[in-house]
Structure 1
Amino acid sequence: MDRFKGAGQSAGKSIYELALGNEFSKLHPRIRERFSLHSGSASAAVGRGTMDAVWHHPLAKLPLHIGTMRNIMFPESGASVPFTVENYSYKDRFGRETVTWIRTFRFPKRIRRFDATMIFSRSRGCIVDYLGNKQHLAVDLDMEATAAGGIRLRSGEQRFYEGWAGFRFPDAFTGQADVEEWFDDEAGLFRVRVEVKSPLLGDVFRYEGRFENSMERAGIAVPPHVLPIRTERRE
C-alpha cells in the first residue's frame, strides 16, 4: 500500500518540516523558505554561485569515477568552481512527496553532476536520500536546526537496490556525509559545506562555497532533466 497517498497531515508541508517538526521554526527565514518546497507550492529553489574548494582523496579517485556513471560524486578537484543547485518538489509515481537536489559543478574541462532525490519515510521516521539518477543508493538522513538558524544533515544507514536485490552496506564500507547549509546575513548569501568521511580513508570528498538563491515559479511540470531515470519504491 502507498503510505503517502491521502496522507492529509503532510498536505502543505515540506518533507523537511515533517522531519524537523518544531525545530523547523528555528531555521533562518531564508533557509526556511528554501526548505519549504512541496508539490503544491508550484515553486522551485534554484541556487547559483561558486564552490571555493572542491577536493577528493587521491585513493578515492577510482570509486568516485565509477560514481559518475550514475551522477554520484566525481573525481575532480578545483577552486572557484561555478555551481548550481536545483530543488524541485513533486509527487513521484508512488505518490511520495519528493524534492530534487541536482548539483552541477562546472570545472574548466568537464561538467559534473551530483544528483539526489529526497523523500520523508514515515516507516523509517526520517528523510531518505536516494543518490544518483537511478536511485540505487538509499541513505537515511538525520537532520537538525543549528544554533545559527542553519540546517545540518548527517548520513546514517545506507542501502543498495537493483532489481530484486537489496542489501545494507556494512558501516566500514560506507561514506558518512556531514552537510551544513546556512544564510550569511552580512554577505547576503547562502553558504554550504559538505564533507564525506570513510572509516578506511578518513576524509574522502568535500566541497564548500556560497550561492544566491532564487525562488522561481515551477508551474505544473517539473523539468525532465532533474527527474531520476529510475524510481525505487523500497526505502
Structure 2
Amino acid sequence: MTPVYRAALGSDFDRLHPNMQWRYGIDSTSGVAQRLTGILESIYISAAVPPPITWYYGNRNALPSKSSRMVPFTQDNYCYVDELGRECLAVLRNFEYTAGSRKLNSVLVAGHEGLVDYFGDGPELLYPITASTTPQGDLLLESGPLRWLRGPRLGMRGPFVLEMKYTEGWDDARQRFRCDAIVRNPVIGEVLHYRGWFTAVDQQCALSDIPDEAWPINLIDREH
C-alpha cells in the first residue's frame, strides 16, 4: 500500500524534509507504529465556543478539553487498511493536563477523492483535507468546511464555517519536530489551536498490536 500522505502529495512528497519523509513514510505493510513525545506550548479554545459543545466533543475525544500551556503530550500513530480497503493512519493523542489526561483521536483516510480526517471515537466530525509541501519542506494540511457526522447531513456554511490548518516541520536547530494546528471561523476568528514540539520513534507493531481505539466505533464510508 502507499502511505496516505505520499498518495495525496505524489511527487511533492519528495520535497518534504527528509525527516518528514521518514515520519510519514510508513503504511499498513511497514510493521511499525510511531510514538511521539513532546510539549504543547499552547492549547486554546475560544470562550465563544459554548461549554456544552466543548464538553460533548471533548468527552468523545474530538476536541481538546480546555485551554492551557506547557502541556506534556504523547501521540501514537498506527497504519492499517479498513474494511472498505482504504489505507488509514490512526492518530491517538494524549494531553496530560494537570487535572488529568484527555484524548484527541482521529483517523486520516486515503479516500476515493482525496484525504479525509475523521475526528472522535464515533467518529463525530469529518474534515476533507488538502495536503501540500511548503518551500521549507514542511507539511501543510488545509481543510474544507467541517462536516458533522451526527444528525442531518450538514456541512457548516457562511458564518458557521469551521476550517482547519495544520503545519508540521523539522526544526534543525533543536533537532525536533514542530506542529501548529488552528481552526478558524470567518466571524469569531480563531476557534481553537494547539502548537508545540515533539520527538518521534518507530516501534515494531503487528496488526494484532494495534489498540481497539485506533478504529472508530462506526465504519463511515461518507467522505464529504
Fold shared by both chains (TM-score > 0.5): yes
Q: Is 2:76 the counterpart of 1:89?
A: no
Distance 1:105 1:171 in 2: 32
Corresponding residue for residue 144 of structure 2: 156
Corresponding residue for residue 190 of structure 1: 177
Equivalent pair of 2:167/2:179 in contact (CA under 8 Å): yes
Distance 1:86 1:194 in 2: 17
Distance 1:51 1:213 in 2: 15
Letter of the structure 2 residue corresponding to residue 230 of structure 1: N
Q: C-alpha displacement at 1:216, in angstroms?
A: 1.1
Corresponding residue for residue 46 of structure 1: 35
Aligned counterpart in structure 2 of residue 100 of structure 1, from 90, 105, 109: 90
Change (3 A) 1:212 1:61: farther
State the TM-score, normalizing by the size of structure 2.
0.92
Change (3 A) 1:104 1:61: farther
Corresponding residue for residue 3 of structure 2: 14
Report how many residues are paired.
221
Q: Secondary structure at the match of 1:167?
A: coil
Equivalent pair of 1:61/1:75 in contact (CA under 8 Å): no
Q: Is 2:15 the counterpart of 1:26?
A: yes
Letter of the structure 1 residue corresponding to residue 94 of structure 2: T
1:190-219 residue CA offsets vs partner (Å, 9 max, x unmatched): 100111111221111111111110111111
Corresponding residue for residue 123 of structure 2: 135
Aligned counterpart in structure 2 of residue 175 of structure 1, from 162, 174, 177: 162
1:155-194 residue CA offsets vs partner (Å, 9 max, x unmatched): 103333348x533332432321111000111111110011
Q: Secondary structure at the match of 2:153?
A: strand
Q: Percent identity?
A: 27
Letter of the structure 1 residue corresponding to residue 127 of structure 2: V
Corresponding residue for residue 226 of structure 1: 214
Cα RMSD, aligned residues only: 1.6
Letter of the structure 2 residue corresponding to residue 209 of structure 1: G
Q: Is 2:190 the counterpart of 1:200?
A: no
Q: C-alpha displacement at 1:76, in angstroms?
A: 1.1
Return 5+ residue gaps in structure 1 as ranges. Answer: 1-10
Equivalent pair of 1:55/1:205 in contact (CA under 8 Å): yes
Distance 2:130 2:204 in 1: 29
Q: Is 2:55 the counterpart of 1:65?
A: yes
State the TM-score, normalizing by the size of structure 1.
0.88
Equivalent pair of 2:62/2:125 in contact (CA under 8 Å): no
Corresponding residue for residue 25 of structure 2: 36
Runs of 4+ with deviation above 3 angstroms: none
Corresponding residue for residue 6 of structure 1: none
Letter of the structure 1 residue corresponding to residue 212 of structure 2: P
Distance 2:111 2:50 in 1: 32
Distance 1:72 1:174 in 2: 17
